[in-house]
Amino acid sequence: MTLKTVSVLALDGLAMFEFGVVCEVFGIDRSGDGVPNFEFKVCGPEPGKPLRTSIGATLTPEHGLDDLVGVDLVAIPAIASQNGGYLPAALDAVRRAAETGSIILTVCSGAFVAGAAGLLDGRPCTTHWMHADALAEMYPTAKVDRNVLYVDDGNLITSAGTAAGIDACLHLVRRELGSEVTNKIARRMVVPPQRDGGQRQYIDQPIPVKCSERFAPHLDWILANLDKPHTVTTLARRAHMSGRTFARRFVEETGRTPMQWVTDQRVLYARRMLEETNLDVDTIAEQSGFGTATLLRHHFRRIIGVTPSDYRKRFNTSAPRVAEIA
């Protein structure tokens, strides 16, 4: 498929950053850099009528909803629902676009618009990690992946939160027009043409606190002694329970097995140390209870999605940095 025509859905409640991402990738003339121009249209319910955005400003689309149908790509930025739903005429236009062969690309919570149009049924997709559970609950047949930056399911591409829309848009350009065009757009935007890892590295993973008062002290003690070796047997003995009873109670209280929970908390502790200190990885591995850097790297990458060293480069706040433009 040749990607030439792009239409963006604009409705009341439009999020400007996510809308701007789509405009930045597809709406700017970069022919001077050898990038093919896209025929780009912003489409709303009534051409020429201002729409309210999420930040108090207004935006006036020049094209109507019919211009969503028949184009190569329909982009749906994050759009807040109005009175619990979306304009039926807009959903109908999105459905017709999909039925007639358009690629549908959503940014962040724009996935909810696609869901309301019936496009997520039985399909893999994603959205911002904060909204992933709500999306899965609202569209139970959708296969929601909360860990990735975007999901490519052929004629449906969904992105995770906010800036992940850049990743999804550039991925589509790469898929349809090749790496050379993608690299030129990314260079002008001063962003990497492709990020590694998923949105797991950005998810806030709090320590579970919803447990009974009788069980909470056991969790508190583990958290205060993560550096010590633990087994179900030693933890059960300390709690004056049999191993089987302790393991069953632990799952009831936390939703995780004892050793899964301990590993999770060790990774979270290591994550905090990588963000806030300059301790070397060996020391962090020892203090978090993994013992070796190799074991820390294995579990950290499995749970967070990137290596400890890559995570530290992105999120460490203990030393000042100077940004460089490559």
Question: What is the DSSP track for 173-210?
Answer: HHHHH-HHHHHHHHHHHTS-SS--S-GGGG---PPP--
The verdict on residue 322 lying in a domain is no
Instruction: Identify the pLDDT of residue 319.
Output: 52
Same domain? 151 vs 225: no
**Token pair of 227 as six digits:** 């550096």
Same structural domain, 171 and 301:
no
Number of domains, the chain: 2
Domain boundary among 175, 200, 225: 200
Do 262 and 149 belong together in one domain? no
| pLDDT score for 324 | 41
- Do 170 and 231 lie in one domain? The reply is no
Given this model, what pLDDT does residue 326 score? 33
Do 259 and 183 have their domain in common? no
Per-residue pLDDT of the chain (326 residues; tens, 9 = 90+): 579 999 999 999 999 999 999 999 999 999 999 999 999 999 999 999 999 999 989 999 999 999 999 999 999 999 999 988 999 999 999 999 999 999 999 999 999 999 999 999 999 999 998 999 999 999 999 999 988 889 999 999 999 988 899 989 998 998 899 888 988 898 898 887 766 655 555 555 544 445 787 888 898 899 889 999 999 999 999 999 999 999 999 998 888 899 999 998 999 889 888 888 889 999 999 999 999 999 999 999 888 888 999 888 877 766 554 444 33
Residues 34, 179 within the same domain: yes
Assigned token pair, 44: 């709303």
How far apart are the C-alpha atoms of 102 and 90, rounded to whole Å?
A: 15
Structure confidence at residue 220 (pLDDT): 85
95 is a domain residue: yes
324 in a structural domain: no
In this structure, the answer to whether residues 277 and 139 fall within a common structural domain is no
Same domain, 182 and 265: no
**CATH code for the domain in which residue 241 is found:** 1.10.10.60
Residue 209 within a domain: no
pLDDT value, residue 191: 82
Parent domain of 58: 5-200
Determine, yes or no, domain membership for 293.
Answer: yes
Between CA 188 and CA 76 the distance in angstroms is 23
Question: What pLDDT sits at residue 183?
Answer: 84
- The pLDDT of residue 253 is 87
In a domain, residue 112? The reply is yes
Q: For residues 89 and 188, state if they share a domain.
A: yes
157 domain-assigned: yes
In this structure, is residue 211 part of a structural domain? no
Judge if 169 and 40 occupy the same domain.
yes
Residue 204 pLDDT: 54
Q: What are phi and psi of 140, to 5 degrees?
A: -65, -20
Give the ranges where 75-157 is alpha helix by DSSP (H): 88-99, 111-116, 132-138
> What is this structure's pTM?
0.68
Kindly state whether residues 240 and 291 are assigned to the same domain. Answer: yes
Out of 165, 200, 235, a domain closes at 200
pLDDT at residue 197 in the model: 57
Alpha helices in 27-131 (DSSP H): 88-99, 111-116
pLDDT of residue 317: 64
Q: Look up the CATH number of the domain holding residue 124.
A: 3.40.50.880
Residues 45 and 192 in one domain: yes
pLDDT recorded at residue 198: 56
Domain termination residue (choose one: 169, 200, 231): 200
